Chains A and B, each alone.
Chain A
Amino acid sequence: MNTAPDSFSENELHAYVDGKLTPERRAEAEAFLANHPEAAAEVAAWQAQNKAIRAAFGAEPVLGARDRALVAGLSRGGRGHTRRFALAAGFALFFLAGGGAGALLTAALQQDAPVQIAQMLPEASKANYLIYAGERRHPVEVAASEEEHLVRWLGNRIGRTLHAPDPSEKGFSLVGGRLVPFAEKPGAMLMYENGSGDRVTVLIGVNSGHEGTSFRFNETDGVSTFYWADNGFGYALSGAVGRETLLGLAHIVYAQY
């Protein structure tokens, strides 16, 4: 039998809970706990936590074909084997073919894409599109006829100089814009329309901390979205138009910011 120690350091109680004590010290811990109900209750709670955590997360996931393909693709140096880089590469080709900002894209490709943007931008942009693009009479707060006021106002609210990109070469013209919430901060939404009434919304929101990301494409419920982050801002274009049309517009927006 061990004599029960009068005190036990908390660190050693953690080690007891995690099974990291020598058998001798372990016996001493048990003797100590038998005489100290408060410590014993705390230790019991920690043991219960460990049990619940292991029950919930202890099983090793079984690898699927996707996991193997991912590793194999990366191992071949083929970044194009993952969703994200496939898209970015496609975008880069578009730019190069267009004689555009290939160098900028190369820089964007080398950034680590923050996961968070992927979750927020496309959903916010798609929601903006679905809510506002269908409005007949009030799609925007400030119409294109007051473009100068519009961009100064929105620019002030999101903290940057803003101008409305001009995609007239693609047959789209500015409808106007409005202030929208994005990630609990003010964001700017601009709306464009072509001759056949197709509308596309552009969302610009503050994303401090992000130098830049690759370009991503997302299509859900018939709404296409291109989005990226650049220089502290997140950008997204959404519309129920073809991918190629949206890509052409994204090219123009990217080149003008």
Chain B
Amino acid sequence: MKSFETDMLAILPRLKRYARSLSASHADADDLVQDCLEKAFARRETWRGENLQGWLMTILTNLNRNRLRQAIATPHMVDYDAAGAVAAEHAESDPLARDRIAAALDRLHPDQRAVLMLVVVEGYAYGEVATMLEIPAGTVMSRLSRARRTLAAILEGGNIVEFRRNT
């Protein structure tokens, strides 16, 4: 089991990144990763020994979907300290721009968001996403399309005016 643990540690940064890209806060993402790891270790007998990363991504995606289904009626609470930490950690120079994209993503359907993140952040091929989520290739494309169009509509309606100082 040593190699399972070692492989897990090697994949963990990407798993955390994926969880963060699906979550509204780091605390939510940490909970998601912990639940995912618990499930993975509990089920390690069923892992067929190939593509551990894809397997973990699948588990995490499903856990996230279940979580959000339960959360629909709950007003979301943002931890301000955590939000500050996010902004400081990342390369995004404009924290408002980061908040803006994050808030828009929070409004996407979780299934659409998962496909978008697997493609854009994790860089998977469309076919890999289909295999991972056990959905037809056409569904990957329609979710990607809806995610992008919805996101564009949200961002456009955001009433943000870009301005520059004259120099």
Contact = CB atoms under 8 A, between A and B. Distances in A.
A20 B121 CA distance: 14
Interface string A215-228: 00000000000000
A26 to B, nearest CB: 16
Interface residues of A, number: 46
A53 interface: yes
A113 B32 CA distance: 11
A58 B119 CA distance: 12
Given A61-B16, A61-B17, A79-B38, A42 B152 contact: yes
B120 interface: yes
B35 A112 contact: yes
Contacts of B66: 114
A115 interface: yes
Interface in A189-224: 209-210
Interface stretch (A93-101, A116-124, A129-137): A116-124
Contacts of A183: 73-74
A236 B166 CA distance: 58
A70 B38 CA distance: 9
Nearest to B94: A55
Interface in B92-138: 92, 97-98, 100-102, 105, 116-117, 119-121, 125-126
B98 A74 contact: no
B91 A55 contact: yes
Interface in B71-96: 71, 73-74, 77, 89-92
B34 A57 contact: no
B12 interface: yes
Given A49-B101, A52-B97, A61-B16, A14 B144 contact: yes
Nearest to B29: A61
Given A115-B35, A116-B67, A57 B126 contact: no
A45 B73 contact: no
Given A18-B120, A63-B12, A57 B17 contact: yes
B23 to A, nearest CB: 10
A208 to B, nearest CB: 10
Nearest to B147: A49
A25 to B, nearest CB: 15
B116 A53 contact: yes
Nearest to B69: A209
Given A67-B16, A114-B66, A57 B144 contact: no
Nearest to B86: A56
Most buried by B among A14, A42, A77: A14
A34 interface: no
A37 to B, nearest CB: 16
Given A56-B92, A59-B91, A184-B73, A14 B5 contact: no
B148 A46 contact: yes
A53 B105 contact: yes
B17 A59 contact: yes
Contact of A53 (B121, B141, B152): B121
Given A14-B145, A50-B120, A71 B152 contact: no
B82 to A, nearest CB: 13
Interface of A: 10-11, 14-15, 18, 20, 42, 45-46, 49-50, 52-63, 67-68, 70-72, 74-75, 77, 79, 82, 112-120, 183-184, 209-210
Interface of B: 1, 4-5, 8-9, 12-14, 16-17, 20-21, 28, 31-32, 34-35, 37-39, 41, 66-67, 69-71, 73-74, 77, 89-92, 97-98, 100-102, 105, 116-117, 119-121, 125-126, 141, 144-145, 148, 151-152, 155
Given A14-B141, A14-B144, A53-B101, 10 more contacts: A10-B145, A14-B148, A49-B101, A49-B148, A56-B98, A57-B21, A70-B34, A70-B37, A71-B12, A112-B38
